[in-house]
Amino acid sequence: MAEDHGILVVGELEGGKLASLSKELLGGARRLADHGNEEVSLLLFGEKAAALAPGGIQLGADKVYVAAHPVFSEFNSDAYTILISELCQKVRPSLCLMGQTDLGRDVAPRAAARLDAGLCMDCVEVNADSEQWHYTQTRPVYGGKALAMVGSEDGRMQIDTVRPKSMSPWVPQGERKGETVILSEGLDASSLKVRCLKREYQEAVEVNLEEAKVIVAGGGGVGGAEGFQKIKELAKALGGAVGATRVPVDEKWAPFSMEIGQTGKIVSPDLYVAIGISGAAQHVTGVLKAKCIVAINKDPDANIFKFSDLGWVADYRVAVPALIEVFRKRLQ
Amino acid sequence: MEIIACIKQILDPDLPPAKFIIDPQKNRVIPPEGIPSVINPYDALAVEAALRLKEKKGGRITILTLGIKTAEDIVRKGLAMGADEGRIISAPDIEGLDSFATAYLLSQAIRKIGKFDLVLCGRQAADWDNGAVGSILAEFLGIPVVTRARDVAALDGKVVVERLSPKGLETFEVDLPALITVSNELGKARIPSGWGIITAAKKEIPVWNLKDLGIDPSQTGEMAERNRLLKLFAPSLERKCEIVKGETPAEAAEKLAEKILERKVL
């Protein structure tokens, strides 16, 4: 049997364009592929995605597959699992990369089961420079308290999902040429076992948390939905977005879209202000890339101070209004 | 409804950071003295989801786990919460098994249990965080799967599942038999009652080994590792924190603002 070759990136769209995370994966794939002189392919879903193929090629893909049949126009775990598994079976990449997104979380394990492949979820690093292993992957475990480095051998396909902001996009090469392959086949409807009854999506938020340069986030210490009003005011005074840890979301003081951490969003702001946040690993793992972390907590022993650059031991009910006052004056 | 809830016993995720120590030779966390392992919080929610369904639709819940030494503790906890039966799967080097081997053993045990309507699992184990066993198990059983449910409601022959995506709420319907993984948005797992604990203590919990599951110990190709754990290490994420103080909140706030602006991050 011919050896598996090449890297396949499963791309996703955001607002009709190639998602930032997909651009990161392409950049990462390109660097990995250049190690062994391999090809990078990109898989896109939906007929309209064909128009994005040249962009994908400029960002590092040698070939772009477009699953153009209407059944793929919206994410469906069954449909995407079947298509990705069949494409991998045909193309036989040595590595298939997906984002650690709803798609990646659902499809990667299922495809790996079908393909008898290795699997590594939520990778923060993938390397091809080991002599002993085809690829080495590093992923956070124990809620981010530790990192596990895992090796994959030649001779078995590997499927990895990658955490946002772990890889960086290639600088687009304008004149780059590649191939676009339209996959026009659909699926037997009986193979789709899960029916989506409804999607109640919120309006797109003004400031995308993942792109925000300034974030003010509240944790369990905020104590209730009312406290979040103060968080929002401070965010406004700083021109930033509002975030939350899992506690406020579980308690319903803040929506899931605000959640930052292992099961929420990964952020990389210049300034992160953590208010009433204890500093549990599952949350901290989502803000590691922040340039400056400021913590306000009334407990001087709170874990968050170990991961912060600046700290103020105080009750947020006193501290936050004082800060709002100061910043309103200074930033006028 | 015949429901099977798969649970895992893990190191307490709320372990004080100072007690989290890795053995670099074994690539394992050293079990901290005096701190008992717990049921994976997401799996406790899977049991909770099962109990809510049993309360509405009636039926039976079987708790299933891969047996490390103290696995019986968490099975009894599930029974004390209100589940009916428990089974422990025993195999060599259980703690070293990956998601595929774990799912394979669970699937063989479920086949031995026989007829079922629904399998419930936590969305991920809060130690290894791979979040794969549920979906892989569904593939091995050949049943449909919906992940990260915040609500599971049973209708005749199917379930309706709600889950939160970053964009908002999604609602799915799937025919039984199916597998659902459960997320923290489901709510809180109930605390066992005193009566529940007493009745659970008396129940027999059969242990099944490879032979009981019809697995030839010499033919464990399905359980061979697909990836090798090379290193487990704690990253040094700590920063040097400058604590700001003041005679009044206004003074401290001024100082803090000054330092933030100095760093040019605003």
Classify residue A226: in a domain, yes or no: yes
A168-181 pLDDT, tens per residue? Answer: 999 999 999 999 99
Return the DSSP state at B129. -
In B, minimum Cα distance to A107 occurs at: B135
Q: B175 pLDDT exceeds 60?
A: yes
Tell the residue number behind the tokens 């989290």, with chain if given: B20
**Do residue A123 and residue A264 come from a single domain?**
no
What is the C-alpha separation between A67 and A62, in angstroms, rounded?
17
Q: How confident is the model at residue A2 (pLDDT cuts 50, 70, 90)?
A: low
Q: What's the pLDDT at A1?
A: 45
* Residue A241 CB-density burial (10 A; 0-12 exposed, 13-18 middle, 19+ buried): buried
A237-288 pLDDT, tens per residue? Answer: 999 999 999 999 999 999 999 999 999 999 999 999 999 999 999 999 999 9
Mean model confidence pLDDT for chain B: 95
Q: Which residue has the higher pLDDT, B218 or B40?
A: B40
B89-145 pLDDT, tens per residue? Answer: 999 888 889 999 999 999 999 999 999 999 999 999 999 999 999 999 999 999 999
Chain B residues in contact with A147 (beta carbon < 8 A): 232-235
For residue B121, how far is the Cα from the chain centroid?
Answer: 7
In this prediction, residues B38-48 reach a mean pLDDT of 97
Classify residue A45: in a domain, yes or no: yes
**Do residue A186 and residue A233 come from a single domain?**
no
**Do residue A30 and residue A74 come from a single domain?**
yes
Of the residues A294, A307, A320, A324, the best mutation for testing chain B's interface (the one with the most B CB atoms within 10 Å of its CB) is A294
Q: Do residue B135 and residue A263 have CB atoms under 8 angstroms apart?
A: no
**Do residue A163 and residue A234 come from a single domain?**
no
Q: Determine the CATH number of domain B2-223.
A: 3.40.50.620
Q: What percent of chain B has pLDDT over 90?
A: 89
Q: Do residue B265 and residue A310 have CB atoms under 8 angstroms apart?
A: no
Domain termination site, one of A159, A191, A223: A191
Q: Which residue has the higher pLDDT, B29 or B94?
A: B29
Chain A residues in contact with B95 (beta carbon < 8 A): none
**Do residue A120 and residue A175 come from a single domain?**
yes
Classify residue A203: in a domain, yes or no: no
Taking the CA of residue B152 and the nearest CA in chain A, the distance in Å comes to 14
A62-94 pLDDT, tens per residue? Answer: 999 999 999 999 999 999 999 999 999 999 999
Q: Do residue B168 and residue A199 have CB atoms under 8 angstroms apart?
A: yes
Chain A residues in contact with B99 (beta carbon < 8 A): 109, 119
SS3 B102: helix
Nearest to B253 among A281, A310, A322 (CB): A322
Classify residue A208: in a domain, yes or no: no
Q: A332 pLDDT exceeds 80?
A: no
SS3 B60: strand
* Three-state secondary structure readout of chain A: CCCCCCEEEECCEECCEECHHHHHHHHHHHHHHHHCCCCEEEEEECHHHHHHHHHHHHCCCCEEEEECCHHHCCCCHHHHHHHHHHHHHHHCCCEEEEECCHHHHHHHHHHHHHHCCEEEEEECEEECCCCCCCEEEEEEEHHHCEEEEEEECCCCCEEEEECCCCCCCCCCCCCCCCEEEEECCCCCHHHCCEEEEEEEECCCCCCCCCCCCEEEEECHHHCCHHHHHHHHHHHHHHCCEEEECHHHHHCCCCCHHHEECCCCECCCCCEEEEECCCCCHHHHCCCCCCCEEEEEECCCCCHHHHHCCEEEECCHHHHHHHHHHHHHHHCC
SS3 B145: strand
Chain B residues in contact with A241 (beta carbon < 8 A): none
Q: What is the CATH number of the domain that holds A141?
A: 3.40.50.620
Count of domains observed in chain A? 2
Pairing mode, strands A146-152 and B228-233: antiparallel
Mean model confidence pLDDT for chain A: 95
**Do residue A222 and residue A187 come from a single domain?**
no
**Do residue A237 and residue A89 come from a single domain?**
no
In this prediction, residues B76-96 reach a mean pLDDT of 94
Q: How confident is the model at residue A206 (pLDDT cuts 50, 70, 90)?
A: low
What is the C-alpha separation between B41 and B13, in angstroms, rounded?
9
**Do residue A34 and residue A135 come from a single domain?**
yes
Q: What is the CATH number of the domain that holds A272?
A: 3.40.50.1220
Q: What's the pLDDT at A134?
A: 94
Taking the CA of residue A110 and the nearest CA in chain B, the distance in Å comes to 6
Range of the domain at A147: 7-191
Domains of chain B by residue range:
2-223
The torsion angles phi and psi of A167, rounded to 5 degrees, stand at -115, 165
Specify whether the CB–CB gap between A296 and B228 falls below 8 A. Answer: no
The torsion angles phi and psi of A322, rounded to 5 degrees, stand at -65, -40
CB atoms within 10 A of CB A191: 11
Nearest to A152 among B20, B136, B227 (CB): B227
> A190 CB contacts (<8 Å, ≥6 apart)?
none
Q: What's the pLDDT at B162?
A: 98
Classify residue A198: in a domain, yes or no: no
**Do residue A18 and residue A82 come from a single domain?**
yes
In this prediction, residues A96-115 reach a mean pLDDT of 98
Q: B217 pLDDT exceeds 90?
A: no
**Do residue A171 and residue A86 come from a single domain?**
yes
